[in-house]
Amino acid sequence: MIRNLLVRAPNWVGDVVMATSNFADIRRSFPEARITVLVTPAGKRILDGSPDCNHLLVDRAGRSPRKILELARELRAASFDLAIIFPRSFRTAIVPFLARIPRRVGYRGNLRNFLLTDAVNHERDGRKTRPVPMPLYYAKLCERVGVERGDGKPHLYVTSESEKQAAAYRAALGITDGEFLVGLNPGASFGASKLWPPRYFSELGDAITQRYGLRTLLLVGPGEEDLADEIVSRMRYRPVYDRSRILPLDVLKPVIRDLKLLVTTDTGPRHYAVAFGVPVLVVMGPTHPDYTAINLERTEVVRHDVPCGPCHLKVCPIDHKCMVGIRPEEMMERLGDLDRRVGVFGIVNSE
């Protein structure tokens, strides 16, 4: 019987959000177990408030051998019965191994098979790994230990402290109670290849305000202030933005939850919006769409097939055609499609 379970969460923001459906499946399958989720510092902010785990333990070890050993000793002292390791890296597999957790489940590869008791095969098309939506990808690991697959829908929770900070943020930026805003999320921590040209974001933001009469809220992460400044400088209708008030990931949850629409690159906030049922318009370039091809009922993904893609490179070595070829005019057309489909602005096609 599993009484004490460790789950090593993914690292990327969007992957953590998508994995929340799997955390819910694990909790439902092991209702009496103590579940600890090992997360990055960013992951803790995302998962704060979740009822699907008993404890969030922050992994601050990085690549330091000393700190990795310290973390392993801490886990060993906790006497876990089972570890489910969502990431594919060698480093995330060696910690449960050193902690002597008796059963360790993870995907094969990256020279780590010997660190696992249950090395799970990837889905394949011939010799190539088949891209599958991340909740289904993680579900295969969970099924190895008897976890029944759920609906794959993400779940995010907001703490009272995050609500309070979000209210202070809205007040400081002059956002009135009940005001509907359109979020613009132009950044991407993955790399420059996911970025859409700033001038395109400016044109699209202006077009949305002009057509629908709603203000835009510019959302960026730490280190993306210059990108935001360039977008603001090109806009005729100034967005709600203050470069001194960059939202942490926990406070970002209620802010995105209360949007009318989010326009975003293929990055973490996209999945926040999905979790809260907020309509999303996504501009996607270098990444394979099948990794996120789930829960698209209120999402419109705009992408172009190009001969060199999807490449998954962090920086485009050539002309970045997959992104620059998508124009603001096309995004507005697709926003109209989304509006007719789900009623973003109150227009629903009844046919």
**Are 71 and 61 spatial neighbours (Cβ–Cβ below 8 Å)?**
yes
The structural domains of the chain, with segments of one domain joined by +, span: 4-143, 160-342
| Nearest by Cα to 334 from 230, 231, 239, 207 | 207
pLDDT of residue 350: 42
Intrachain domains 4-143 and 160-342 with the same fold = yes
**Are 261 and 280 spatial neighbours (Cβ–Cβ below 8 Å)?**
yes
pLDDT of residue 351: 43
- For the chain (351 residues), the mean pLDDT of every run of 10, in chain order, is 96 97 98 97 98 98 96 98 98 98 97 97 91 97 97 97 98 95 95 96 98 97 96 98 96 98 97 98 97 98 96 96 97 97 75 43
Tokens found for residue 55: 């404890």
CA distances from 344 to 37, 61, 93, 303 (A): 35, 43, 43, 20
Strands 124-125 and 128-129: antiparallel
For 240, which DSSP code?
Answer: B
Tokens found for residue 325: 């070829």
Pinpoint the alpha helices (H) of the chain.
13-29, 41-47, 65-77, 90-98, 134-143, 160-172, 198-212, 225-234, 249-257, 268-276, 321-324, 328-342
What class does CATH assign to 4-143? alpha beta
Q: Rounded CA gap, 217 and 259, in Å? A: 9
Overall pTM surpassing 0.75 (yes/no): yes
CATH 3.40.50.720 fits 160-342, yes or no: no
Q: Give the SS3 label for residue 14.
A: helix
